[in-house]
Amino acid sequence: MLAQLGLASRREAEVWIRAGRLTVNGDKATLGVRVTPADQVRLDGRVVRRQAAAELRVFLCHRSPGQTLGRPDAEAADAGIVGRLPGRAGRRFVAVSPMPRIDGGLELVTSDGELAMRLQRAAHHLVSEFSVRVRGELTEVQRQSILSGLLDRGTSLLVESCEAAGGEGSNRWYGLSARGGSGKDVRQLFERQAALVSRVLRTRFGPVVLDRALARGQFRELTREERDVLLAAMADSRSSSP
C-alpha cells in the first residue's frame, strides 16, 4: 500500500515497520499485515491518506542525453524532469529500466512502486526500439553480428531487426528492435563491433511510443487507454515467458 502511494519502496517500508514507525488501527504494524480501505494507517503518528491510491499514474518523459531524471525533492537548481511532475501525482517516482545518463529518449516513470516493479519485470520480455548514431556505416558483417545479440557477459538479446535509418555528414543512424534490451545492452552490441557510438535513444517501450510532438525535456501523462494497453502487454509477457 505504501509503495502504491509512492511513499516508499517495499524495502524502505519494511525498515519503517521493523522500526515501529507504522501502526494499523492503533497497533504496531507487522511485516505482511494486510490493510483494507477501512483501516487507519499512521506513519510516525500521522494518518496516511489513501484517497488517490486507486488511480495508477504513469508519465512518459522525453529525456535529452545528459539530462537527469531527477527527484521531486531535489535541492539542486536543476531537479530534472521528475522535479517538474505534478506534486499530487506522488512524492516519490521510480523510473522503469532507465536509459544511461549519456543517452536518452523515452523514459517511463510512476509513483506507484508496485506498478514500477511489475513494469521492470515485464521489461525483460517486452520489445523496445532504439535509434543508434554511429560514426560511419556498418559493414554487413558488423550488422549481422549485432543481429546475433551476443553480449559481453555471454548472454544474448533477441534482436529482431537492425536497419540503416539515414544520417548526416560522417554520422549514420540505425534503428534497432530488441526484446528485453536496455540502453546499456544496445550500446554494447554496437561497440562490440568496434562501432563508435555517439548516441542511443529509446523510441519505444512495449506498446508505448515516443511522441514526435513531445519536445526534449518535456513529459506527459499516459492516457487511460495507453495505460490499459501497457498493463495488457505486461500480462501477455508474463504468460508467454518461460
Chain centroid to CA 200: how far?
Answer: 15
Query: Do 163 and 226 sit in the same domain of this protein?
Result: no
Same domain, 20 and 139: no
Residue 1 lies in a domain: no
Residues 67 and 115 in one domain: yes
Total structural domains within the chain: 3
Same domain, 151 and 108: no
Per-residue pLDDT tens over the stretch 159-202: 999 999 998 889 999 999 999 889 999 999 999 999 999 999 99
**If you average pLDDT over residues 92-101, what whole number do you get?**
90
What is the rounded distance in angstroms from the CA atom of residue 13 to the CA atom of residue 108?
Answer: 23
| The predicted structure's pLDDT at residue 176 | 98
For the segment 201-212, what is each residue's pLDDT rounded down to a tens digit? 999 999 999 998
Say if residue 183 is in the same domain as residue 233: no
- Long-range CB contacts for residues 162-169, cutoff 8 Å, separation at least 24: 164/137, 164/138, 165/131, 167/133
Write down the pLDDT at residue 148.
95
pLDDT of residue 209: 96
Check residue 75 and give its pLDDT.
46
Check whether 77 has a pLDDT greater than 60: no
Assign residue 21 the CATH number of its domain.
Answer: 3.10.290.10
Its sign, for the CA torsion 20, 21, 25, 30, is negative
Task: Pick 137 or 7 by higher pLDDT.
Answer: 137
Same domain, 142 and 201: yes
Of the candidates 237, 236, 238, 210, the residue with the CA atom closest to the CA atom of residue 222:
210
Give the pLDDT band of residue 73 (cuts 50, 70, 90). Answer: very low
Inside any domain, residue 219: yes
Distance of CA 198 to the CA centre of its chain: 22
In this prediction, residue 86 has a pLDDT band, given cuts at 50, 70 and 90, of confident
In a domain, 87, yes or no: yes
Res 27 pLDDT > 90: yes
Reported as a single tens digit per residue, the pLDDT across 106-131 is 999 998 888 888 888 888 889 999 99
The pLDDT of 133-156, averaged and rounded, is 94
Q: Does residue 118 sit in the same domain as residue 131?
A: no
Backbone angles phi, psi at 32, to 5 degrees: 85, 0
Does 14 reside within a domain? yes
The predicted structure's pLDDT at residue 55: 63
Same domain, yes or no: 218 and 171: no
> Is residue 2, in this structure, part of any structural domain at all?
no
Q: What is the CATH number of the domain that holds 160?
A: 3.30.2350.10
Question: What is the predicted pLDDT for the residue at 135?
Answer: 95
Q: Which residues pair with 201 in a beta bridge?
A: 104, 131
Position 24 confidence tier, pLDDT thresholds 50, 70, 90: very high
Query: Are 107 and 75 found together in one domain?
Result: yes
| 53 within a domain of the structure (yes/no) | no
pLDDT of residue 91: 67
pTM, two decimals, is: 0.74
Regarding predicted confidence, which is higher, 37 or 170?
170
**3 occurs within a structural domain:** no
Q: What CATH number did the domain enclosing 62 receive?
A: 3.30.70.580
Identify whether 29 is part of a domain.
Answer: yes
Mean pLDDT of the chain: 87
Q: Which domain holds residue 41?
A: 10-47
Same domain? 192 vs 150 = yes
